[in-house]
Structure 1
Amino acid sequence: MGRPVVFFDVDGTLGWDDPIAREGRPEEERSMSPRPSDVVCDAIRGLVDNGAAAFVCTGRSPATLHPVILELPFDGVVGLGGAYVRVGQAVLRDRPFPGAVLEALEGLLLRVGSGAQIESATGVVELRGGAQGLHQGPDVPQTMREALARLEDHRAHKLIVPTIVARGLMSNPGASEILSTSELEMGNSEVTLAQNTKQDGVRAVVDYLGQDVGKTYGFGDSQNDLPLFDEVDVAVAMGNASDEVKARANLVTGGVGEDGVATGLKALGLI
C-alpha cells in the first residue's frame, strides 16, 4: 500500500483574503495568496509527519504563494490550474498558451475593450489595469507584448478576465476544444487551455509517484476544484463552498474561517 496523497486548493481553502480589501493594496501585494492560519499550518505539518504526501493545488501562479505556504512541507505544487506541475524539483508540466492562441485572445480583449490579469509560472502582470480595469497609471502595459515583457519567462499560462467576456469567448464555435473557463469571485473568470485543469495536474503527480500512491484526497471550494474532485478518491468541500461543489464532495468540512482543512483532516483520520 502507498501513502496517502492530499491536494489542497489555496484561496477559500488553505486561507482567505477579503477581495475588496485586496484590490486596494499595491500590485505586488494584490497578487499574493492568503496566509493559512496557524491551526491549518500545524495540520499540514502533522499530515506530513504522519507519512502523507501533501501538494498545493491552485489556479494561482506558484510565484504568488505566500511565504508561509512555501515554508510548509509540501511535496510540490499543481499550479496555474494544472498548467504548471512540480514534484520536488522535477517539473512535470509547463504548458503556456501557444502564441497563436494568445494572439487571438488579445484580439478578443481589444474588441470588447477589456483588460486582463496575465499569470505565468514566474509571476503576474495586469494588462490594461487588470480584469476590471481598476489599476490604471502611466506604467500599466497596454499590449500583450508589453505585459509579457514584464514576466521573467515572457509567457502566459492563464488569463483572468471578466466573466461576461469569458462567456462570450466560450460561445464561439470550437472554443471549448481549445480553452476552458472557470468562474471566480468579483465577476471574474479564469481562462486556460482545455488540457490545463487541476485534474490533468493531479493525474501527472499520481503517475509520477507511481506505486508510492495510496488513497488520494482533494480539498477545495470553487468551480475550478471540480476537476480535482473528479480525479481523487475522496473529495472534501469546504463549508464556504458553493452548493455545486458540496454536491460533488464525499465530505463537507468547516469553512475556511473555521480552520476547515484541519477539521477535515482529523475527520478523515489523517492527523
Structure 2
Amino acid sequence: MTNQSVIFFDIDGTLLDSNKELPSSTKEAIYKLKELGHIVAIATGRAPFMFEDLRKELDIHTYVSYNGQYVVLNGEVIHTNPLNIPSLEKLTEAALTNNHPVVFMDHEDMKANVPEHAYITESIGTLNIRQFPTHDPKYYKGRELYQTLLFCPEGEESQYEQEFHDFDFIRWHPVSVDILPKGGSKAIGIEKLIEKLGFPAERQFAFGDGLNDLQMLATITNSVAMGNGEEEVKKVAKFVTKSVDDNGILHGLQMVGLL
C-alpha cells in the first residue's frame, strides 16, 4: 500500500468520550482505517493492564503506554525506560511526611504505599477501570517501574519538582500527578516504533487532548487536537477537530484525508 500511514491515538478524551465510553463512530472509523491497510496504534499515559479490553475491542496490538516508557510493537516489547528506584524511594519518603500517597506501577500491576486514601479513590475512580491499587509499600523493590502516581492538590508538586531532578511531573487530575523518567514522553516512545516501522513524517498522524500529548502533537507532522482538548494542546497541533463527544475522531480523520 503506497499511501499506508500509521495513526496514534490517545485514550482518555480522545478515543474514549467524557463518559469513558468508546463512541460507535470512533470504533467504526478505527476498523475502516485497518481495512484500508493503515496501522493503528495507541499512545497513552495508562498502564498496559488499564486498556487491555480496549485493545481487544479494537484489535490493536501496537501501543505506547506509560507516556512512552513501555512500548509494544505487534505484541512484542521493543522499548522500556524505567524510573530511577533510589530517587523514587527518597521521593516516597518525602511524600509520606506530607500525607501525599504514591502508587507504584509496572507493566502488570499497581500498588499503593498506604492502605487507603481519598485522593487515590477519587482520581483512580475517574478512569472507569476494573483494577484498583492494593497496598504494598515495598512494591518498588526488585522490579522495574515505568510510572508512579503522586497524589497531591494542584501546585503542591512543585516541591518535588525542585528536589527530584530524575523525574518529570505531569498532572492528569486535580489531585494526581504522573511521575515519569526525566525526558520521557509519548514522542520518544513513538520514535522507537517509527524506527522499526520506517514511516516517513508525512505518513505519521496523532490524535490527543491532554498535557501529556503536547510533545507528541508538536513532533508528529499530521497532529490533531481534540475539540475538548487543553488550549495549549490545540496551539501546538496542526489541526483541531470536534469534541470527542461530537464524533471528533471520525471528523478529524476525514479532515486529514484518511477517511
Structure 1 match to 2:113:
127
Q: Quick check: 1:240 aligned with 2:231?
A: no
**Structure 1: 4+ residue segments shifted above 6 A:** none
Per the TM alignment, residue 7 of structure 1 is displaced from its structure 2 partner at its CA by: 0.5
Per the TM alignment, residue 259 of structure 1 is displaced from its structure 2 partner at its CA by: 2.1
Instruction: Tell me, yes or no, if the aligned pair for 2:103 and 2:148 is still in contact at 8 Å.
Output: yes
**Count of residues paired in the alignment:** 245
Instruction: Tell me, yes or no, if the aligned pair for 1:3 and 1:213 is still in contact at 8 Å.
Output: no
Alpha-carbon distance change, 190 to 37 in structure 1, aligned in 2, over 3 angstroms = same
SS of the residue aligned with 1:239?
Answer: coil
Per the TM alignment, residue 236 of structure 1 is displaced from its structure 2 partner at its CA by: 0.5
Q: Quick check: 1:158 aligned with 2:147?
A: yes
Instruction: Tell me, yes or no, if the aligned pair for 1:80 and 1:120 is still in contact at 8 Å.
Output: no
Unpaired segments ≥5 residues, structure 1: 19-33
Return 157-166 or 259-268, whichever deviates more: 157-166
Instruction: Tell me, yes or no, if the aligned pair for 2:92 and 2:102 is still in contact at 8 Å.
Output: no
Structure 1 match to 2:32:
46
Q: Quick check: 1:61 aligned with 2:47?
A: yes
Deviations 1:75-100 (A, max 9, x none): 40100010000001221112222321
Alpha-carbon distance change, 246 to 171 in structure 1, aligned in 2, over 3 angstroms = same
Per the TM alignment, residue 156 of structure 1 is displaced from its structure 2 partner at its CA by: 2.2
What percent identity do the matched residue pairs reach? 23
Structure 1 match to 2:161:
170
SS of the residue aligned with 1:7?
Answer: strand
Structure 2 match to 1:188:
176
User: Out of 82, 92, 98, which is 2:84 matched to?
Assistant: 98
SS of the residue aligned with 1:132?
Answer: helix
Query: 2:118 and 2:95 mapped to 1: Cα distance?
Result: 10
Instruction: Tell me, yes or no, if the aligned pair for 2:84 and 2:181 is still in contact at 8 Å.
Output: no
TM-score, normalization by structure 2: 0.85
Per the TM alignment, residue 125 of structure 1 is displaced from its structure 2 partner at its CA by: 2.8
Query: 2:112 and 2:247 mapped to 1: Cα distance?
Result: 32
Alpha-carbon distance change, 181 to 2 in structure 1, aligned in 2, over 3 angstroms = farther
Q: Which amino acid aligns with 2:161?
A: M
